[in-house]
Amino acid sequence: MTNPLLIQGGLVLAPRVLGVADVLVRDGVVAAVGPDLPAPDDAEVIDASGRIVLPGFVDTHRHMWQGAIRGVLPDTTLPGYLERVLGRLAPEFRPEDVHAGVLGSALEALDSGVTTVVDWSHVLATPEHADANVQALHDAGIRAVFGYCHTSGEATRAAETRRVRELCGDGLVRMAVAALGPDFGDLDAAREEWLSARELDVMITTHMGGHGRETAAAGQAWLDEHDLWTPGTMYVHANDYTDEQFARIADHGGTVSVSPAVETAMGFSLPVTGRARAAGVPTALSADAITSAPGDMFSLMRAAYLTERARPDGAGLGFTAADALRMATADGARVAGLDGVTGEIAPGRQADLVLLRTDLPGVAPVHDPVAAVVLHADTRAVETVLVAGRVVKRDGRLVADVRAVLDRLAASAEHLAKAAS
């Protein structure tokens, strides 16, 4: 049990605009939202006047282990990324490098207002690598869905997947199966991945539909052949699906994660934000790889907004700033398998909250709060961040030993640069 917390007098985006209101938090959960709420006698009060209060951002696909190799490969294409990052650098990661990278990435996320991440981890050469990854997520205090991609040997796949499921638990860190197949790897192993997710009743997240039209069609045919369409499956980088194939995903209860910065920079083609949404597929945003693109949600919302509205013949001009904000919050929670848990400010939701300053050059004056968040604010504006009601950033500073984390990142970066040279 913790003392109640009252966030008082902020301009609340839930993510729809509620106006100036208070948010009462009890035991990590939003208890009430409204104007002039009475403060319980034992409550901590946070003055949010002149602040925008919104749900914490949800990043639906990020390779958290890459924290120590930020910006190592700008101006690349997907083949270059696969060769350098996955082919040369990933094999050099020790468990301690995984822990340092994930912890650094988690602090980066929290610092910028991202309170939930789907951590797609395909660097797990041994069980110790997986342990280090999960421990770092716990250590950071971020809400996470750990996307476990089994890469440590076929003989232990089923047992190790079950072990990791127990290791994650059902609290702030939950598990998903990050399936390499069918687009990558052995198809028999892919079938085991999908079936293990069903057995453990966890979400599947998979890179499908972004590697050519033939591969996109073959992947859906494989799902048909093996009866593996699974509700809640997240399809990442779905750029090569046709409108009809998106309709099939919608019919089977799937979702889509769009990485607008990486997809445009690496030559995937324009992000499919509008086409997926038009087919009725829940669609959200993700940073993917900070090796080659920015990791903050402000950059991603802008990238999604601008690339969608740039579609030929004005096809994307109906996409609004409010749509981008919803993709970064409520729709993000749905795609991450956390609908009803986070992504909105409402009674019963987890108190994953962000307070943004509006008294900054480039943000003030605020005529439209949604436009202020999506088009004008940046990480400078993130003043206070809460995860499950616990303050992880206060008065513009993380409540963590940031220097120690940065020192570990620097040591890891030095090791990896030497090992992969």
Contact residues for 405 (Cβ-Cβ < 8 A; gap 6+) = 100, 103, 104, 107
pTM exceeds 0.85, yes or no: yes
Rounded (10°) angle between helices 157-168 and 127-140: 20
Enter the DSSP assignment of 43. Answer: -
Q: Where are the alpha helices (DSSP H) in 269-421?
A: 273-278, 297-309, 321-328, 330-335, 369-371, 402-419
For residue 64, the surrounding DSSP H or E stretch is: none
The pLDDT of residue 153 is 63
Residue among 41, 6, 44, 4 at smallest CA distance from 23: 6
Q: How far is residue 60's CA from residue 71's CA, in Å, rounded to a whole number?
A: 20
Neighbours of 191 (CB within 10 A): 17
Q: ∠61-149-190 over CA atoms, to 5°?
A: 110
Check if the beta carbon of residue 31 is closer than 8 Å to that of residue 7. no
The domains found in the chain, sorted by start residue, are: 5-55+349-396 (2.30.40.10), 57-335 (3.20.20.140)
φ and ψ of 18, to 5 deg: -100, -15
Q: Return d(Cα 250, Cα 232) in angstroms, integer.
A: 10
Q: What is the mean pLDDT of each run of 10 residues along the chain (421 residues)?
A: 92 97 98 96 96 98 98 95 95 98 98 98 96 98 96 76 93 97 91 95 97 95 97 98 98 98 93 97 98 97 97 94 98 98 98 98 97 98 98 98 97 94 80
CA distance 117 to 60: 6
Distance between CA atoms of residues 202 and 192, nearest Å: 14
**What's the CA gap between 199 and 186, in Å, rounded?**
20
At residue 21, the pLDDT reads 98
Tokens for 324? Answer: 């981008």
ω before 365 within 30° of 0 (cis)?
yes
Four-point Cα dihedral 113, 42, 401, 68, nearest 10: -30
CA distance 345 to 342: 8
Q: Are 365 and 329 in contact (CB under 8 A)?
A: no
Residues 220, 222, 225: CA angle, nearest 5 degrees: 115
Q: Could you tell me which of 314, 249, 309, 311 has the C-alpha nearest to residue 283? A: 249
